[in-house]
Amino acid sequence: METSEAELKVLMIASLGGDSGAYRALLGDLRLRLGAYFRRRLRRDADDIEDLVQDSLIAIHTRRETWDRDQALTPWVYAIARYKLIDHYRRTGRRVMVPLDDLPGELRTEDHSAAADARRDVTTVLDSLPERTRRLLHDLKVQELSVAETAARAGMSEGAVKVAAHRGLRTLMDRFAGGGASHDG
Amino acid sequence: MTDDLIDRLARDLKPVRPEAVRNRLVLAVAAGSIVAVAGVWLFLGPRSDLIRALTSMMFWMKLAYTVAFAVVGALCVERIARPTGRPGLRLAWLAAPVLLIGVATMVQIAKAPAGGVRTLVMGGSAALCPWLIATVSAPLFLALMWAMRSLAPTRLRLAGALTGLTAGGLAASIYSLHCGETGAPFVAIWYSLGILAPCVVGALTGPRLLRW
């Protein structure tokens, strides 16, 4: 994941020359960076984050000529991400970047449907796990990917994924039963 | 999902030239100018003394003033069309034509005979001039906005204003082929208003037209 700016720039220049292999590698890396960027700012909604990542990738693709080869690449990418994020706030009419749990109850006006509550709860609970376990459970249970797909994504064996997921679920159950994650709606 | 998307984008990849942004803007200026010149020529007609005017100082002065807006505007547009672009110091170059016309205005007014100042300011077409320039700017404005829509400005109001300014500068330059006014004060007021009109329209419509 830690590809340097210089390496990304090399990939981008090759991509602009028509090298689709380099382009695939570049977009694969940018996808992770964008995901991290939006997750840090939105926290909640996995769907929104995925949408924004895809929107940004499409914009990077269709507007790739606006990158100036004399300039660094990542500021250009993040400027696009930032524009898409602001556009997202504008569309959803939300400007606050405070996580909802930090707000007093009466300010939580957002989406009170049971499904949204459930998804929000799942995400909140998942947030309490270590990053790798969280991602595994998210892939398996929220995105409902197969064990094989999850393993491929994480670069782990299927057995390791099963064991890690099982442990993660155990941790969550213990925490729930013990009332460790106290958050009333 | 995202994997499929990356796959599709990679398959859609076509080479892009380094000067692609500039080419797109040049194409828009060319297309808009052709329509604007044709319109001025057909509906307004060239000034009757055009050939003689080519040797007059004021003709070139006027043209220099309006072309300066077009050039500075276009240079700023080329910057603001990019997500990280800021017009920065380029915008400050606008001071040059403004200063130039200011000095010319003062010289002409100082030298004017008694009662001649009004003619210098109002000429014979003051009421029409800004409106005609604004009208001539329409095809340029549309062509440049079209080009900008496929680029990636992130400050849409400023991008719209600069796009309008460029269209206005070009339109005023083309309009000067028709207009026989020779007063520097006339140009300083009425031409400037004509250039400003599409600039304001651009600032007002930019956030909507340029959204992506």
Cβ(B62)–Cβ(B169) below 8 Å = no
Report d(CA B85, CA A71) in Å as an integer.
11
pLDDT bracket for residue A120 (50, 70, 90): low
pLDDT > 90: what percent of chain A?
41
CB contact under 8 A, A79 and B14: no
Is residue A73 assigned to a domain? yes
CATH number of the domain enclosing A137? 1.10.10.10
Q: Where is pLDDT greater, at B26 or A106?
A: B26
Q: How far is CA A5 from CA A81, A178, A184, B32, B138, in A?
A: 16, 46, 44, 39, 42
Nearest-CA residue of chain B relative to A67?
A: B82
Q: Give the CATH number for residue A60.
A: 1.10.1740.10
Q: Are residues A84 and A19 in the same domain?
A: yes
**A26-71 per-position pLDDT tens digit:** 999 999 999 999 999 987 778 889 999 999 999 999 999 999 999 9
Would you state the torsion angle of the CA atoms of residues B37, B41, B47, B52, taken in this order, to the nearest 10 degrees?
70
- Tell whether the model's pLDDT for residue B34 goes beyond 80: yes
Q: What is the pLDDT of residue A121?
A: 62
What ipTM is given for this predicted complex? 0.90
pLDDT at B72: 97
Sheet strands (E) in A34-76? none
Residue A69 within any structural domain of the chain: yes
> What is the dihedral angle through the alpha carbons of B115, B52, B193, B121, rounded to the nearest 10 degrees?
0
Residue A10 is assigned to a structural domain of this protein: yes
Taking residue B43's Cβ as centre, other Cβ atoms within 10 Å add up to 11
Listed range (A20-29, A50-59, A136-145, B39-48) with the worst mean pLDDT:
A136-145
Please give, rounded to a whole number of angstroms, the shortest distance from the CA of A155 to a CA of chain B. Answer: 16
The yes-or-no verdict on residue A137 having pLDDT over 80 is no
Single-letter residue type at B3: D
pLDDT given for residue A160 in this prediction: 81
Which pLDDT score is estimated for A97?
A: 53
Q: What is the pLDDT of residue A14?
A: 97
A182 falls within a domain: no
State yes or no: pLDDT of A99 exceeds 60: no
Domain residue limits at A59: 5-92
Q: Tell me how many domains chain A contains.
A: 2
Q: What percent of chain A has pLDDT over 70?
A: 73
Q: Give the pLDDT band (50/70/90) at residue A180.
A: very low
Q: Of the candidates A12, A82, A90, A25, which has an alpha carbon nearest to the alpha carbon of residue A52?
A: A82
pLDDT in tens, B82-128: 999 988 889 999 999 999 999 999 999 999 988 889 999 999 899 99
Interface of A with B (CB under 8 A): 15-18, 20, 23-24, 27-28, 31, 50, 53-54, 57-59, 61-69, 71, 75-76, 79-80, 82-83, 87
**Does a structural domain hold residue A171?**
yes
R_g (Cα) of chain A, nearest Å:
19
Residue A99 inside a domain? The answer is no
A128 in any annotated domain: yes
Which parts of chain B fold into alpha helices (H)?
2-11, 20-39, 50-53, 57-80, 95-111, 117-122, 129-149, 156-175, 184-186, 192-209
- Mean pLDDT along residues B33-43: 97
- Cβ atoms of A140 and A147 within 8 Å: the answer is yes
Cβ-Cβ contacts under 8 Å, B16 against chain A: 16, 64-65
pLDDT score of A125 more than 90: no
Identify the residue with better confidence: A126 or A46.
A46
With a cut of 80, say whether residue B198 has pLDDT above it.
Answer: yes
A79: which chain B residues are within 8 Å (Cβ-Cβ)?
83-84, 154
> Above 50 in pLDDT, residue A98?
no
* A48 and A122 part of one domain: no
Cα angle A160, A161, A165; round to 5: 120
- CB-CB: which of B10, B12, B20 is closest to A65? B20
Residue A115's SS3 state is: helix
B10 touches chain A (CB under 8 A): yes
Q: Using pLDDT thresholds of 50, 70 and 90, give the confidence band for residue B149.
A: very high
Q: Which of A82, A92, A90 lies closest to A48, judged by CA?
A: A92
